[in-house]
Chain A
Amino acid sequence: MFDDRFEQILRPYLPFLPPQEELTPGSDLKDLGLDSLGTVQLLGTLEEDYQVRFRDSALTMDTFRTAGVLWDTVQSMLHPAAS
């Protein structure tokens, strides 16, 4: 599972996710209201906050499909050896 910080960053971009509802790795971000402008802004926020840089190959809508995939992508940049 992801850390609190990740969830805190993500939630403001998911207007259809009620505060009391859990964010799961399988949650489809588009269904929760992540639009294309939100995706671009989320990318910038994640990069700034985690001090990472998404590779060009990761700049696809697939990367932002679910919370789990996005978390794995961030993790793989934070801990390149582990992946």
Chain B
Amino acid sequence: MNGQPTAQARTAAAHDTRAAARVRGARTGARVHDLLDEATAEHPDAPAVTDGTGRWTYRELAAHSHAADAWLEGRGIGHGDRVLVQLPSTRELVALMYGAARRGAVLVPVNTGMKDFHLRAVVENAGPALIVVTDPAVHRIAALAQGVPVLGLGGVWQAITALRAQGARSGGAGVGPEDLAVLVYTSGSTAAPKAVICPHGRMVFATEAINQELGYRADDVVFCRFPISWDYGLYKVLLTAAGRSELVLADGESDLVLLRRIRETGATVVPIVPSLATMIVALAEREPSRESRVRMFTNTGAALPKSTADGLRSAFPGAEVIIQFGQTECKRVSVLPAADQNAKPDSVGRPLPGTRAFVVDDDGNALPPWETGEIVVEGPHVMPGYWRAPEQTARAFRPAPDGGLRLHTGDFGHVDEDGYLYYEGRRDDMFKHKGVRMSTTEIESAATDIPGVRAAAVLPPADGRALAVFAEGDIDPHALLKELSLRLEPAKVPAVGRIVAELPLTPHGKHDRKQLARLLEGTTP
């Protein structure tokens, strides 16, 4: 590149891109691989995807995806067949993803850390026609695959490379926007695996609607620390194609070199979750005031503490920190544009363009601003349900008055007069105390804001038991409650405060409230 564009020119370019996208609107009738083909037609020789071992241009990625399509065809994979992959997030996986999309097959990407116990259930639920894993895992997976062919990526990739050298193309497949592209297994708290069905058209709509808010562009380098098996990583593949940007796949690298890799790769956009942001800030404190091109961090997963957001802004001067909110069932609910952050610091944003998100009471009636209820979502990004789980689908995906689907998110919150959303907690976290509806989440987040508190868990009140807060950290229990009273309205301040060496967790990593309750009994005579 011949010099960096000025900040002003970049901002102007970003506005142009966003304006153009808004005029066009997100499409509902496109396929996943259309995004790749359009990017390839426009910028064939621009970098498309980089991993630890190299980089492909859009032309190269497209050619590999055609070869993957031809290879799948040769294996007898056809329309609607599931192809399960448990692979690290590399260029090969991106090629397989687009190849499967061209084939009309359904990609089922599962986390490389998924244990056999869980994987066996996923195989049973997904019913794949083919499984591709790393070479060393072939025998282990074959033992639990119930007769489904299991292939190692080494051999598969040799075959695809050979096909690519011949410029191979499949005989084509009639793929439409309603056809399924991906099954995303979510790490729910229930024992049975549950996959969100993701059709082509809805994935492309979600991608383009998100990009109307984020404005990825051709000079962006997007640093993705997340696996493609997680929808956060998966959609980075699509978003970078929509933006004609470069995707850097950095999952599996040591977190100790995160900051160095962000700088080395010339990353301009860094998707984060709060824990990743905390690491980046901690690493930046070791090496302050170094050059970086990062212009935007985008957060999801959980609320980003203000101190962490401030840490990012001071370590990366000029970078925006964008707050997002969502769930796989509709990919994303809302985005808070940087321009609104000062006016609405506690909001999780406005619904994606072309979609609706609002709050309803127990009977499904829309609630006025500032009243707390369940957040529901409608629009072309709402997925059609869970794979082979009619009961769970019927609970979460209900008919909307306009004939579409209304997603019941299980998240509670409210909207303001401008329709911006405010998240208060999960259904399970909500309770009433002194007549006020509140959530464990909001009290816990107030507690972790207190200097000296490393972690906190709240136990809702019950018969014979007052509202209690447990904290890990260097703080006196009385000081903890006093500090909370400075941060919360009176009804939300717990009556009991306890400092513990370590908060008990369930096997799923959530606060073990049964243990906490016992802790309280144990210390009360």
Contact residues of A with B, CB < 8 Å? Answer: 15, 19, 36-37, 39-41, 43-44, 47, 53, 56, 59-61, 64
Residue B282, interface by CB 8 Å: yes
Contact residues of B with A, CB < 8 Å? Answer: 254-258, 260, 275, 278-279, 282-283, 285-286, 501-502
In the complex, the answer to whether B255 meets A40 with C-beta atoms within 8 Å is yes
In the complex, the answer to whether B256 meets A59 with C-beta atoms within 8 Å is yes
For B283, give the chain A residue with the smallest CB separation: A40
Query: Could you pull out 7 A-B pairs where Cβ atoms are within 8 angstroms?
Result: A15-B502, A37-B275, A39-B255, A44-B283, A47-B286, A59-B254, A64-B256
In the complex, the answer to whether B260 meets A40 with C-beta atoms within 8 Å is no
Residue of B254, B256, B278, B282 with most partner-chain A CB within 10 A: B256
CA distance A43 to B285 in the complex (A): 11
Residues of chain B within 8 A of A40, CB atoms compared:
255-256, 258, 278-279, 282-283
CA distance A61 to B278 in the complex (A): 18
Residues of chain B within 8 A of A53, CB atoms compared:
286
CA distance A59 to B255 in the complex (A): 9
In the complex, the answer to whether A44 meets B279 with C-beta atoms within 8 Å is no
CA distance A9 to B222 in the complex (A): 36
For A56, give the chain B residue with the smallest CB separation: B260
CA distance A56 to B261 in the complex (A): 12
- The answer to whether A44 and B285 touch (CB under 8 A), given A37-B275, A37-B278, A37-B279, is yes
CA distance A19 to B285 in the complex (A): 30
Residues of chain B within 8 A of A36, CB atoms compared:
255, 279
Residues of chain A within 8 A of B283, CB atoms compared:
40, 44
CA distance A41 to B260 in the complex (A): 16
CA distance A64 to B254 in the complex (A): 11
Residues of chain A within 8 A of B275, CB atoms compared:
37
Contact of A41 among B254, B257, B282, B501 (CB under 8 A): B282
CA distance A64 to B501 in the complex (A): 23
Known: A15-B502, A36-B255. 20 other contacts (CB 8 A): A36-B279, A37-B275, A37-B278, A39-B256, A40-B255, A40-B256, A40-B283, A41-B282, A43-B282, A44-B285, A47-B286, A56-B257, A56-B260, A59-B254, A59-B256, A59-B257, A60-B254, A61-B254, A61-B256, A64-B256
Residues of chain B within 8 A of A44, CB atoms compared:
282-283, 285-286
For A45, give the chain B residue with the smallest CB separation: B282
For B255, give the chain A residue with the smallest CB separation: A36
Residues of chain A within 8 A of B256, CB atoms compared:
39-40, 43, 59-61, 64
Residues of chain B within 8 A of A39, CB atoms compared:
255-256
CA distance A60 to B258 in the complex (A): 11
* Cβ of B188 to closest chain A Cβ, rounded Å: 22
Residue of A15, A41, A59 with most partner-chain B CB within 10 A: A59
CA distance A41 to B283 in the complex (A): 8
For A12, give the chain B residue with the smallest CB separation: B454
For B258, give the chain A residue with the smallest CB separation: A40
* Cβ of A13 to closest chain B Cβ, rounded Å: 11
Residues of chain B within 8 A of A15, CB atoms compared:
502
CA distance A44 to B502 in the complex (A): 22
CA distance A44 to B280 in the complex (A): 12
Residues of chain A within 8 A of B285, CB atoms compared:
44
Residues of chain B within 8 A of A47, CB atoms compared:
286
Residues of chain B within 8 A of A19, CB atoms compared:
501
Residues of chain A within 8 A of B502, CB atoms compared:
15
CA distance A41 to B149 in the complex (A): 44
Residues of chain B within 8 A of A37, CB atoms compared:
255, 275, 278-279
In the complex, the answer to whether B286 meets A43 with C-beta atoms within 8 Å is yes
* Cβ of B445 to closest chain A Cβ, rounded Å: 17
Residues of chain A within 8 A of B501, CB atoms compared:
19
* Cβ of A41 to closest chain B Cβ, rounded Å: 6
* Cβ of A10 to closest chain B Cβ, rounded Å: 15
CA distance A49 to B271 in the complex (A): 32
For B454, give the chain A residue with the smallest CB separation: A12
CA distance A44 to B286 in the complex (A): 7
For A36, give the chain B residue with the smallest CB separation: B255
